[in-house]
Structure 1
Amino acid sequence: MNIIEILKEVGRGKRGARDLNYAEAEAAAELIMTQSATPAQIGAFFAAERIKMESVAELEAFVNICRKYTHRFPMQEGIDFAGPYDGRKSSFIATFATAFLLASCGIPVTMHGSAPLPPKWGVTLPLLLQEMGVTSRNMTRETAIHAAKLTGVLFVASEQWCAPLRDMRPIREELGLRTVLNTAEKLVDYGSSPYIVFGVFHNTVFEKTAKLMQNLNYRRALIVQGSEGSEDLFIDRPTRTYLLANGEVSLQVIDPEMYGLDSVVPEHNWTPTEQLRITEEVLQGTASIAFSNQVLLNSAVRLFVAGRVDSIEEGLYTCKPLLENGDAWGLYCHWREAMLRKEIKTGASRSETRMHL
């Protein structure tokens, strides 16, 4: 099936267009992600899919084709933090500090992202790394794997690890629209993780996303209608989530008030500088209680998703001492040094011994 035939099926308008079956969608994804189709044809496909809305089969095909052309570094029994690549504008990126608290509990973590993309053009994780001094020049695969081996935290600059995503950037920027790739890029699974937390903006996509997670064979997954469509649970109100566990999907509303954590979030001008400053204050124990509580709640829930604790309450009891005694801060500092390729102290760190990566 060529791209013209595919466009005739998806581009007949909202009433006339039909979903592609998996084989057709896989053919379309291969043609698009290898740029065997022209930029005009690729743009037409993305726009038509945006109008029609992507099916589970179409999303799965794009995920699998992206995975086909991706480098990986398996993180044994790790968890993937899958947040929006178009970034954040009005909320704290709690997932960044959460990664180091979770890794200090002994769970390997994979984070990933790129420079800002449409439609939001917000603050993304690589911009936080740039504030630390980790530029695109030293954000290499070799450096990321080195840091992951030392600390259990893998950060992936997606366009270095998945060339088709890099090649698609000019078209996506020119379109300025959300496309099928806004979902697919979050599921590339750079760390071969059996567990994932995945952010969505609308609760209308819960069931579709849950089916996609099942098809992709995640052992356990939490789909979160979080801050700005992120995987971060709110701390000032309940968060709607879908939990996939043991092949079953259930709606879970997670209310911070149930755990004595509900807090009023202070207003901030969320630049990369502010995001990094608050992250480091949380890990050092000097941040506003709202941001600290948000990281604690997100960490406890993700411990539960990864099957390391039997309840969110147990997760809180596990995480709180590691934040208070400086373990999470120490691991963050060690990871930052490794990402900056500074001289690393000899001898295995506590995290190395615990992770067995």
Structure 2
Amino acid sequence: MNPALEIKDDLTLEGARAFMEACLDPASDPGEVGRALLALNARPFRGEELTAFAQVLRARAVPFRAARPALDTCGTGGDARQGVHTANLSTLSALALARMGVDVVKHGSRSASSLCGSADLLEALGLDLARPVEAAEADLARTGFAFLFAPRFHPVLARMVPIRRALGVPTVFNMLGPLLNPARPPYQVLGVAQEAWILPVAEALAALGLARAFVVHGKDAGGAGMDEASLEGPTRVQAVRDGRVAEAAVFLPGDAGIRPGLAPAAADSLEACVALARGLAGGASDPAYSARVAEEVALQAALGLALVRDAGLGTLPDLVAEGREALRAGLDLPSLLSLAA
């Protein structure tokens, strides 16, 4: 066995970097890599290890030059709501924020654990995932929104796809994906599926030098965890500020101006997710517009607004209301996504 793939109780930064290099090495046996990832799963993830893993992968990414400081909204996927499928809220909130004047660089891929990943949704809405890097850079400068399709920017990770698929369980790569945006945005709303992931992910974001970030974990009405803010139960938020882990908070839907009793709108197929997105894009006058989905998106978008404006969570009711009004007016998808009108 490759000694670098042996999981010790506490990997040093050097050992963590060597571990990730060994995972990516074509000479490493895929079975050994898979067993090492499962061994890593068997103990708590650590912020310094995530940082080292991310540094190795970020150094190998195709670069992206952002014209202005931007925000990313993303989640780890893999939440605990068994059999519950909802709209892709991180992508919809990214589009809403861009329509509201926030520069957004959305980094994402196809679905690994849900029905509709960010790339699946945006492609179905008409975005060409094969657009060259220069075109995406121009998109951000012109429209305030760019989508970075992860496989194009991280070709080195192609080796990991069959290994992760064979394992069939979430691994450290679920947490690493949201840490690898090639644009290096200074602001990020990052949803994590497990409460135990909040602190190590926040520590990694801090070590990677983000100016401001929120690591978010919500609970549904039954207490199951989700990688987004919740309409039904408490949402934990861990702030990152100026390269350090800052304050932690918990808010309930009512604290954010969400009326009680709402539940997420179901979306049991890619087609359903696309229909919800198109209805939302059309605004309140569109027959397919869902006020419930708009409420979900407004809540997620409010966290992004709070970050870029450096506003406290006490402003969430006003920010949610601002998001509602923007969504009622609709999203100009042909312009935001560089589509033919």
Report the TM-score when normalising by structure 1. Answer: 0.81
Decide which of 295, 298, 301 is 2:300's aligned counterpart.
298
Decide which of 107, 121, 125 is 2:118's aligned counterpart.
125
Aligned partner of 1:257 in structure 2 is 254
Secondary structure of 1:24's counterpart equals helix
Quickly say closer, same or farther: Cα 1:55–1:261, change in 2 above 3 A. closer
TM-aligned CA deviation for residue 225 of structure 1: 0.8
TM-aligned CA deviation for residue 271 of structure 1: 1.1
Secondary structure of 1:240's counterpart equals strand
Are residue 268 (structure 1) and residue 270 (structure 2) matched?
no
Aligned partner of 2:43 in structure 1 is 52
Aligned partner of 2:163 in structure 1 is 171
Are residue 188 (structure 1) and residue 180 (structure 2) matched?
yes
Aligned partner of 1:103 in structure 2 is 98
TM-aligned CA deviation for residue 146 of structure 1: 3.8
Report the TM-score when normalising by structure 2. Answer: 0.85
Residue ranges of structure 2 left out of the alignment (5+ in a row):
none
TM-aligned CA deviation for residue 139 of structure 1: 4.8
CA distance in 2, matches of 1:21, 1:78: 32
CA distance in 2, matches of 1:316, 1:179: 33
Aligned partner of 1:315 in structure 2 is 319
Decide which of 201, 204, 222 is 2:193's aligned counterpart.
201
Are residue 237 (structure 1) and residue 233 (structure 2) matched?
yes
CA distance in 2, matches of 1:209, 1:149: 29
Aligned partner of 1:112 in structure 2 is 107
**Count of aligned positions:** 325
Aligned partner of 1:218 in structure 2 is 210
Percent identical pairs in the alignment equals 22
RMSD value, Cα: 2.6
Residue ranges of structure 1 left out of the alignment (5+ in a row):
11-16, 345-357
Secondary structure of 2:101's counterpart equals coil
CA distance in 1, matches of 2:245, 2:36: 33
TM-aligned CA deviation for residue 238 of structure 1: 2.8
Quickly say closer, same or farther: Cα 1:147–1:295, change in 2 above 3 A. same
Secondary structure of 2:263's counterpart equals coil
Quickly say closer, same or farther: Cα 1:142–1:77, change in 2 above 3 A. closer
CA distance in 1, matches of 2:55, 2:91: 26
Moved more, 19-28 or 267-276: 267-276
Contact 1:200–1:223 (8 Å) recurs in 2: yes
CA distance in 2, matches of 1:248, 1:116: 30
Aligned partner of 2:29 in structure 1 is 38
